[in-house]
Amino acid sequence: MKRFVKCKDWIIWLTQHILPDPAIQHKKPEWLKPYQVLAIDASDIAEKGAVKKLWHLHYAVDIFSLTCSQFKITGQSTGESLKNFTPAKGCLVIADRAYGTIKSIERCLALGGDFIIRIKNKAFNIYDAGGRKLVFADWLRTVGKTAEELNA
């Protein structure tokens, strides 16, 4: 792991300059043109040897160019969170429910990014302007309806 950490600059260069075959790149839909679309996840790295230390590789890949946008190696105590990334304005982050926390979403919004994140339904509470807890699935059914439709 020490050698891996020492070659950080080379890994960054490698992930930014070795592009996949252009034939496999996908055309970005028009509605996504303003975004750099990033798929974000993490993976475990286990050291070999008597003391098996566990590391996490946090990785963001641009889904249209298939290139690395960001990565970070942390100890096992650092969990999956958007705090491990810098999703700037113009980024659209796609992530699984491990990232579906208030802190992750607040981080993304604070840096100007947008997101599509699967949320942890039972661990993710949403409140209306009056402070009343909303049932998210019920609230989604009202999106796009007029006041008359809701009162009918």
Q: Residue 112 above 90 pLDDT?
A: yes
Rounded to two decimals, the pTM is: 0.72
pLDDT (tens digit, 9 = 90+) per residue, 19-69?
Answer: 555 545 678 899 999 999 999 999 888 877 777 778 888 999 988 887 888
Which ranges in the chain belong to alpha helices (H)? 2-6, 8-17, 102-110, 136-142, 147-151
pLDDT (tens digit, 9 = 90+) per residue, 97-108?
Answer: 899 888 898 999
pLDDT (tens digit, 9 = 90+) per residue, 132-149?
Answer: 888 877 878 888 888 787
| Chain CA centroid to CA 86, Å | 10
**CB contact burial 69-92 (16+ within 10 A = b; e otherwise):** bbbebeeeeeebbbbbbbbeeebb
| Chain CA centroid to CA 60, Å | 7
Instruction: Determine the topology of domain 2-18+35-144 in CATH.
Output: Nucleotidyltransferase; domain 5 (3.30.420)
